[in-house]
Amino acid sequence: MDPTPPPVPPAPAPRSRRRWVGTLVALASLALLGALAWYLTHSPSPSGGVAGRAGGAAGAGPGGPGGPGGGRGGPASTVGTAAARQADIPVLLDALGTVTPLANVTVRPQVGGVLTQVLFKEGQMVRKGELLATIAPEPYQLALTQAHGARQRDEAQLEAARVTLARFRTLLGQDSIARQDVDTQAALVKQLEGSVAIDRASEGTAQLNLGYARITAPVAGRVGLRPVDAGNTVAAGDAGGVAVITQVAPIDVVFSVPQDRVPEIQARLAEGAQLPVTVLDRSRTRTLDAGRFSTLDNLVDTTTGTVKAKARFANAEGALFPNQFVNVRLLLRTVQAAVVVPVTALRHGPNGDFVYVVKPDRSVALRAVTRGEANVDLVAISTGLAAGEQVVTEGGDRLKDGARVQTASDRPAGAASGASAPGIAASGSHRRRAASEAGGGG
């Protein structure tokens, strides 16, 4: 009986087949990942759609060939525009200034004594020469009387000496008296003349001191707080004085100007121009007063590179208060009929200043320009732009030469609210297509 041969084991699958299966699995995975990536990168947004997202992915950033609004075929960027126009643009110089009174006087007593009257009220406006206070005058009246009496005595002695001298000279002519007696009498006359001169000076001093007992205002202005009351004893030259008067009308404002502007200011002053100056409050919303430029200081402050200047104001309404900080606006000149655009339209690049000009086909052109004078809102364009041309004022950072743009008025009504629905539908369509491709690849 022949034994049953053992079963033959199945031959192992070729190694190449296993590699083929692994390759298919890898390809399927890659296809799935590719479909998912395509879905994520091609999902439309309400503002840009598929083309905008694809352009953003291809571009290097804002202003690149595929950046937002960068390509001619990309979506139009919404921008703000303004028309260049002709206008007179003032050349202004803004600075921070300090209100400075023309005079700030501490009225000190010139003589000592008891203060009998204080005739002013705190904060009162006084005129020059107006009586402010009085000091007890009796001691100075007595001193004046004494000086007057001494003068009269010495004048009588002088008169007697002169009569005697005249008599001696007559006798000398008759050879009845010695010449020495005549010379001695002449010397006495001169001595008495000197005494009378001293007496007159003493009398004038006493009269002056008596006048100093009445304290008057040396300048017109506003009186400050009263430092002393009636009944107190004051001395000549007291540091506190009896009143402080500040002249407030007219009044000056001191401010600083850059040293680079000094030649222009000097040239305008040499022409005889009256440079108007306006002062505004701290918030620059209210004009306090208007005046005229006065003068420049005689040196440059080396720490700041500025020169002090002064302007004068009538201050009829009293809006300017001494030591008040104000904003100063000096009008140097006015550029007539300049082509101006908003300051936000002017841009700066490696090749100089430029603007984006909106063409009739709603594309923009980068235009090199030369800027002129500017103020807070407008800048003058010396060359490169004509009045009437539209320039981009907002949204220019996303643009490049040739980009398509639109303004807020160009968009149809309801575009912003209805843009989301097509985007959602398109997004759902892309999701289903990506899912089907991913399923087929698996």
Please enumerate in sequence order all residues whose Cβ is within 8 A of that of 298, keeping only pairs 6 or more positions apart, or say none.
none
Report the alpha-carbon distance of residue 179 to residue 375 in Å, rounded: 94
Q: Model confidence over 292-325: pLDDT tens digits?
A: 999 999 999 999 999 999 999 999 999 999 999 9
Going by C-beta distance under 8 Å and a sequence separation of 6 or more, which residues neighbour residue 81?
A: 358, 390, 391, 392, 393, 407
pLDDT at residue 225, as a whole number: 92
pLDDT of 135 strictly over 60: yes
Q: How confident is the model at residue 67 (pLDDT cuts 50, 70, 90)?
A: very low
Task: Give 356's contacts (C-beta < 8 A, 6+ positions apart).
Answer: 79, 345, 347, 364, 365, 366, 367, 391, 392, 396, 399
Between CA 365 and CA 355 the distance in angstroms is 8
| Contact of 91 with 335, CB cutoff 8 Å | yes
Yes or no: say if 217 and 129 are a contact pair by the CB < 8 Å rule.
yes
**Sequence-ordered list of residues with C-beta below 8 angstroms from that of 309, at least 6 positions apart, any chain:** 254, 255, 256, 257, 265, 293, 294, 295, 296, 297, 330
pLDDT-derived band at 69 (thresholds 50, 70, 90) equals: very low
Q: Quick check: 393 and 344 in contact, CB under 8 A?
A: yes
Q: Which residues pair with 77 in a beta bridge?
A: 405
Q: What type of residue sits at position 245?
A: I
The band of 74, judged by pLDDT with boundaries at 50, 70 and 90, is: low
Write out pLDDT tens, residues 1-32. Answer: 455 555 555 555 455 566 666 777 788 888 88
Q: Mean pLDDT over residues 115-134, rounded?
A: 94
The phi, psi pair for 52, rounded to 5°, reads: -65, -40
- The per-residue pLDDT of the chain, averaged, comes to 82
What pLDDT score does 398 carry?
81
Exposure string over 220-231, b if 16+ CB within 10 A, otherwise e: bbbbbebebeee
Sign of CA dihedral 203, 206, 212, 218: positive
Q: pLDDT digits over 179-212, tens only?
A: 999 999 999 999 999 999 999 999 999 999 999 9
CA-CA-CA-CA dihedral for 329, 332, 333, 338, to nearest 10: -70
Half-sphere exposure of 139 (CA within 13 A, CB side): 9
Identify the pLDDT of residue 62: 40
- 43's tokens: 């999902």
CB-neighbour burial class of residue 293 (10 A; exposed 0-12, middle 13-18, buried 19+): buried
**CA–CA dist 178, 186 (Å, integer):** 13
Give the largest CA-CA distance in the chain: 213
Is 135 exposed, middle or buried, given 0-12, 13-18 or 19+ CB atoms closer than 10 A? buried
Cα–Cα distance measured from residue 426 to residue 438, given in angstroms and rounded to the nearest whole number:
18
Closest by Cα among 391, 351, 293 to 80: 391
Give the mean pLDDT of 223-232.
Answer: 92
In this prediction, residue 52 carries a pLDDT of 40
Residue 432 has pLDDT above 70, yes or no: no
Tokens of 439: 């399923």
The residue ranking higher by pLDDT, 132 or 66, is 132
Neighbours of 299 (CB within 10 A): 8
State residue 161's pLDDT score. 94
Overall average pLDDT of the 418-422 stretch:
40
Banded model confidence at residue 429, pLDDT cuts 50, 70, 90: very low
Q: Which of 415, 407, 440, 359 is nearest to 76 (CA)?
A: 407
Question: Residue 95 pLDDT more than 90?
Answer: yes
CA–CA separation, 57 and 36 (whole Å):
16
Q: What is the pLDDT of residue 7?
A: 55
Closest listed residue to residue 377, CA positions, set 329, 341, 331, 328: 341
b (16+ CB within 10 A) / e for 158-189: beebbebbeebeeeeeeeebeeeebeebbebb
Look at residues 288, 297, 302 and name the one whose alpha carbon lies nearest to residue 265. Answer: 297
- pLDDT attached to residue 25: 77
**Domains of the chain by start residue, with CATH:** 15-46+419-441 (no CATH), 77-87+337-406 (2.40.420.20), 93-102+246-335 (2.40.30.170), 109-243 (2.40.50.100)
pLDDT tens by residue, 203-213: 999 999 999 99
Angular region, 231: left φ>0, alpha ψ -120 to 50, beta rest = left
Q: What pLDDT sits at residue 151?
A: 94
The tens digit of pLDDT for each residue in 354-410 reads: 999 999 888 999 999 999 888 778 899 999 999 999 999 998 888 888 889 888 777
Q: What is the mean pLDDT of residues 144-170?
A: 94
The angle subtended at Cα 170 by Cα 168 and Cα 176, nearest 5°, is 75
- Highest mean pLDDT pick, 49-63, 126-140, 359-373: 126-140
Please report the pLDDT score of residue 434 as a whole number: 40
